[in-house]
Amino acid sequence: MAEKAILEQLDSAETIPDSGDFSSAKGFDHNDIVNIIKSLHGFRLVDAQEVKKEKWVLTDEGKVYAASGSPEVQLFDAVPPEGISREELQCEIANLFNCVLSISMAMLLIDSLRANYAVRYCGLVEVGNWLSCLWVVKKIDPSIYKIGTLYASKNRWLDMGKQQVSRKVQDVADQVKDLLLQIKDGKAINQEDINALKKRKLITLQTWNGYSLKKGPNFALERKKLVTDFTREHMQSFEEMPTNNYVESSYEYDWKREEANKNVLRTHTTAVSARMLYKLAQKPFIPRRYFSIDRVFRNEAVDRTHLAEFHQIEGIVCDRGLTLGDLMGVLHEFFTRLGMSNLRFKPTYNPYTEPSMEIFSYHEGLKKWVEVGNSGMFRPEMLLPMGLPEDVTAIAWGLSLERFEFVSPTMILYGIDNIRDLFGPKVDLSLIKRNPICRLGID
């Protein structure tokens, strides 16, 4: 609904100057609008430019004073016209109830309040059997007394004697409360008042982030479904392998029990593939397709061509009668969907697949053929001990999202020659913000 409203607004008005104003006018939550804008920008349906606004907002203390009044005014109101002792003022604050009560009712009210409050009469006027103006005095908050004393003395409202506190003026205006209410309502105040409130930590500067929008190169009123979108149908045809175990037992050609029992950060996700195939063999055989995308680790120094950790993509198809031709056909389809149709295969050796092939694609930026993945057919020596039928074979392939020696599709498509520009702590975040989401295989 919100996405449709954005696209229709751009179709009719060409631009949306402020996403905040747009969300308010249309009744949408701005956070939801921002998420949709980022997605639309990634697909180049819109061009989005970040908009930043700064405004002053009330702190928690400022909100209290905006509701109840500033400490200096609260303290001033607690001092009656005839004055009050410091001792009494420190534990009391005045709260005037303008009311008219019968004498009997007033006495009952006073008796009920005396248990918790000090009660005085101020300007009582007897009219027949009625009293007006009952002055109820509550206990004062120590922080209100301390802050109020400071600013009431500074404003020369009160004479803070050693024993007695008295008023220097008859009435005061709560300018602090008025200023806080203006800020709360979004009104502008002068810089001098801002500095004074900021110094008292009653206001703080809040940054608001939004976007201005215009039509992008792929603008349309509806998104087009892309062949590379990961859909529910894809999930139904492939089963994801559980790759959340980052520590695996090691494998060495010169096998030793003590060496095999050691745990290391996994260097690939094929160990998970083996477990899934073993699990498949424990039941009557049904053809299966598996995939995984997860992190692996290598004991290598990080430079422009290597990473110590990266994400490995792995796929397996297990069925009866699969051949090397099936594997090459799957690889052509797989990499074509990623935007790489110019492929070559080179025989290689893997300890758990035979035959095995390295996959190469031509890198236009580097002007040479580069390796983009590895593949093969799992050896019978691996599948038969698991209990799989003799006529069942499994084809598998793997590639890296980031690693250079298996040059990633992203690097090939965008001509990136330094892996650290794509992945890791040295990535330029402004570059990520300025550029759309990488859609492999989509112009």
Q: Note whether 174 and 236 are same-domain residues.
A: no
pLDDT value of residue 199: 92
Which of 175-189, 241-255, 381-395 comes out lowest in average pLDDT? 241-255
Residue 115 predicted with pLDDT over 50: no
pLDDT value of residue 267: 76
pLDDT value of residue 168: 92
Residue 104 predicted with pLDDT over 90: no
Q: Note whether 319 and 423 are same-domain residues.
A: yes
Interior/surface letters 231-262, b for 16+ CB within 10 angstroms, e for the rest: eeeeeeebeebebeeeebeeeeeeeeeeeeee
In a domain, 374, yes or no: yes
When mean pLDDT is compared over 78-87, 115-124, 220-229, 260-269, the highest value belongs to 78-87
Q: Are 313 and 230 in contact (CB under 8 A)?
A: no
pLDDT value of residue 176: 93
pLDDT value of residue 43: 79
Q: Note whether 343 and 275 are same-domain residues.
A: yes
Residue 89 predicted with pLDDT over 70: yes
In a domain, 220, yes or no: no
pLDDT value of residue 124: 42
Which of 37-41, 126-130, 143-147, 405-409 comes out lowest in average pLDDT? 126-130
Q: What distance in Å separates the CA atoms of residue 314 and residue 271, rounded to the nearest whole number?
A: 11
Q: How confident is the model at residue 406 (pLDDT cuts 50, 70, 90)?
A: very low
Q: Note whether 12 and 67 are same-domain residues.
A: no
Prior bond of 355 cis (ω within 30°)? yes
Looking up residue 270, the CATH number of its domain turns out to be 3.30.930.10
pLDDT value of residue 365: 65
CB-neighbour burial class of residue 12 (10 A; exposed 0-12, middle 13-18, buried 19+): exposed
- Using DSSP bridges, classify how beta strands 288-297 and 239-240 pair: parallel, antiparallel or unpaired: parallel
Residue 403 predicted with pLDDT over 50: yes
Q: Note whether 358 and 285 are same-domain residues.
A: yes
Which one is predicted more confidently, 301 or 332? 332
Q: Are 390 and 384 in contact (CB under 8 A)?
A: yes
Residue 85 predicted with pLDDT over 80: yes
pLDDT value of residue 49: 87
In a domain, 312, yes or no: yes
Residue 261 predicted with pLDDT over 50: yes
Residue 139 predicted with pLDDT over 70: no
Residue 250 predicted with pLDDT over 80: no
CA distances from 93 to 84, 124, 355, 384 (A): 11, 19, 90, 89
Q: How confident is the model at residue 134 (pLDDT cuts 50, 70, 90)?
A: very low
Which one is predicted more confidently, 289 or 407? 289
DSSP state of 223: P
Q: Can you tell me whether residue 175 is helix, strand or coil? A: helix
pTM of the model: 0.43
Contacts of 103 (CB under 8 A, 6+ apart): 126, 129, 130, 131
Q: Note whether 247 and 382 are same-domain residues.
A: yes
pLDDT value of residue 136: 44
In a domain, 52, yes or no: yes
Domain interval for residue 45: 2-57+204-215
Q: How confident is the model at residue 439 (pLDDT cuts 50, 70, 90)?
A: low
Q: How confident is the model at residue 270 (pLDDT cuts 50, 70, 90)?
A: confident
CB-neighbour burial class of residue 205 (10 A; exposed 0-12, middle 13-18, buried 19+): exposed
3-state helix, strand, coil in the chain (%, to 5): 35, 30, 35
Q: Are 147 and 202 in contact (CB under 8 A)?
A: no
In a domain, 316, yes or no: yes
How long, in residues, is the chain?
A: 443
pLDDT value of residue 122: 41
Q: Note whether 312 and 389 are same-domain residues.
A: yes
Q: Note whether 257 and 406 are same-domain residues.
A: yes
Q: What distance in Å separates the CA atoms of residue 41 and residue 44, rounded to the nearest whole number?
A: 5
Mean pLDDT of 68-73: 90
Residue 407 predicted with pLDDT over 90: no
Q: Note whether 355 and 257 are same-domain residues.
A: yes
pLDDT value of residue 58: 93
In a domain, 223, yes or no: no
Looking up residue 34, the CATH number of its domain turns out to be 3.30.1370.240
Q: Note whether 246 and 371 are same-domain residues.
A: yes
Domain total for the chain?
A: 3
278-315 confidence digits (pLDDT tens): 888 888 888 988 888 888 887 777 766 667 777 888 88
Q: Note whether 164 and 305 are same-domain residues.
A: no
Residue 9 predicted with pLDDT over 70: yes
In a domain, 307, yes or no: yes
Interior/surface letters 32-65, b for 16+ CB within 10 angstroms, e for the rest: ebbebbeebbbbbbbbbeeeeeeebebbebbebb
- Percentage of residues of the chain with pLDDT beyond 70: 71
Write out the H or E segment, with its range, that includes residue 7: helix 2-13
Residue 112 predicted with pLDDT over 50: yes
Q: Note whether 366 and 288 are same-domain residues.
A: yes
In a domain, 53, yes or no: yes
Residue 417 predicted with pLDDT over 60: yes
Q: Tell me what the pLDDT averaged over the chain comes to.
A: 77
